[in-house]
């Protein structure tokens, strides 16, 4: 029986860090899937869709590997907040998040040949302090979060503005490690049993 | 007006990491205070007491510096869980945390000469999956969390067993950064005003 190797189909260094820190062994292959943010899906389905697209694309090139895809979105009032790209949009986003609770949702997909194709999503609630215009512009111009969904990084100075989370912290960073592990264990067991047959 | 320098009176590398990551400038001086865990205080008062003791001891040697002390405890059923030291005690602790929600409480103390002596505490709730005896002993013997309060590390493999937190994640790591920042800002402002007088 060969041991099944894992591939993380993601270019997020934070996902890599979460998995490594928890002791998982895997290699990394970028899917280079281009997300089309205009696609009409509710947030949960949206991130599951793109997690699966990433995994599917890598799975085609890597048979006999367990491929893990993931996609994280920041959601306010059921609308996905993308990457602001320019400071003005960043200020608008942080202004909308200020003093409120929003959702961070990650979709995670497992694909192995034609035998396994499983996707789930998890939500964490994140509550932000009421921010002054000065606090917002100071953060935007100092930390330049133009390529960060929702216009903030939970791991940089913005952490001081987050007063509460409910759910998995690692989910906000890009991978809900506890749920991931629960499904991963079962999937590995199932695939190993199939191989033995 | 001289700028007031900060000293973190803690030997926890995680507290250092949290503060650095959020962009704070500070130096580190170990207090070498010996915690007496038998002291009879409710958990909130216990960690405030030791946070303040650490800050006080360093403040004596470093006048004109803002000293920051901190102490974190893991609490189940109003009892503080210490460091297990030996595997058998670690197994008993994790068995008691399994399938339940416990509290992680950090006390934080700010001291500046005789002008400032302020301490607060913050609680985060942490929910652990139901763990099998095998999962517990595998974790204990692989990760040897003998010097970790509560017998687990939120940043190592044990992360897979934490299904939910309510509150500040960084509090579980040893410093509630959002509340810290709120008090820090006001304290710095007050001290600067006093200096100008």
pLDDT in tens, A56-111: 999 999 999 999 999 999 999 999 998 999 999 999 999 999 999 999 999 999 99
- Give the residue among B13, B5, B6, B7 at the shortest CA–CA distance from B175: B13
CB contact under 8 Å between B166 and A166, yes or no, is yes
CB contact under 8 Å between B21 and A179, yes or no, is no
Chain A to chain B Cβ contacts (< 8 Å): 69
Please write down the HEC assignment for all residues of chain B. CCCCEEEECCCCHHHHHHHHHCCCCCEECCCCCCCCCCCCCCHHHHHHHHHHHHHHHHHHHCCCEEEEEEEEEEEECCEEECCCCCHHHHHHHHHHHCCCEEEEEEEEEEEECCCEEEEEEEEEEEEECCCCHHHHHHHHHHHCCCCCHHHCCCCCHHHHHEEEEEECHHHHHCCCHHHHHHHHHHHHHHHHHHHHC
Q: Say if residue A145's pLDDT is above 60.
A: yes
What is the pLDDT at residue A197? 67
Substitution target in A19, A163, A166 with the highest count of B β-carbons within 10 Å is A163
What is the pLDDT at residue A1? 54
Q: In the beta sheet, which residues pair with residue A80? A: A75
Q: Is B22 on the interface with A (CB under 8 A)?
A: yes
CB contact under 8 Å between B167 and A164, yes or no, is yes
Instruction: Return the structure tokens found at A43.
Output: 């947030």
Query: B132 to chain A, minimum CA–CA distance in Å?
Result: 13
To the question of domain B5-196 being in CATH 3.90.950.10, the answer is yes
Instruction: Return the structure tokens found at A191.
Output: 């695939």
ipTM of the complex: 0.87
What is the pLDDT at residue A46? 96
Among residues B71, B114, B138, B156, the one annotated as catalytic is B71
A36: pLDDT confidence band, cut at 50, 70 and 90? confident
A71 classed as catalytic: yes
B179 vs A contacts (CB less than 8 Å): 163
Query: A40 to chain B, minimum CA–CA distance in Å?
Result: 30
What is the pLDDT at residue A50? 96
Q: Is A23 on the interface with B (CB under 8 A)?
A: yes
CB contact under 8 Å between A178 and B165, yes or no, is no
Q: Which residues of chain B have pLDDT under 70?
A: 1, 197
């Amino acid at each position: 029986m060969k041991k099944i190797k894992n591939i993380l189909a993601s270019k997020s260094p934070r996902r890599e860090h979460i998995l490594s820190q928890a002791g998982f062994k895997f290699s990394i292959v970028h899917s280079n899937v281009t997300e089309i943010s205009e696609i009409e899906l509710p947030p949960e389905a949206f991130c599951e869709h793109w997690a699966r697209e990433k995994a599917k694309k890598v799975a085609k090139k890597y048979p006999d590997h367990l491929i893990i895809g993931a996609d994280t979105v920041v959601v306010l009032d059921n609308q996905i907040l993308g990457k602001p790209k320019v400071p003005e949009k960043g200020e608008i986003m942080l202004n909308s998040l200020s003093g409120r609770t929003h959702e961070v949702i990650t979709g995670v997909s497992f694909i192995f040949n034609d035998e396994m194709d499983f996707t789930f999503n998890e939500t964490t609630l994140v509550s932000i302090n009421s921010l002054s215009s000065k606090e917002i512009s100071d953060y935007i111009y100092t930390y330049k979060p133009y390529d960060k969904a929702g216009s903030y990084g939970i791991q940089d100075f913005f952490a001081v503005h987050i007063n509460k989370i409910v759910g998995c912290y690692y989910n906000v960073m890009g991978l809900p490690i506890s749920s991931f592990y629960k499904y991963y264990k079962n999937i590995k067991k199932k695939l190993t049993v199939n191989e033995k047959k």
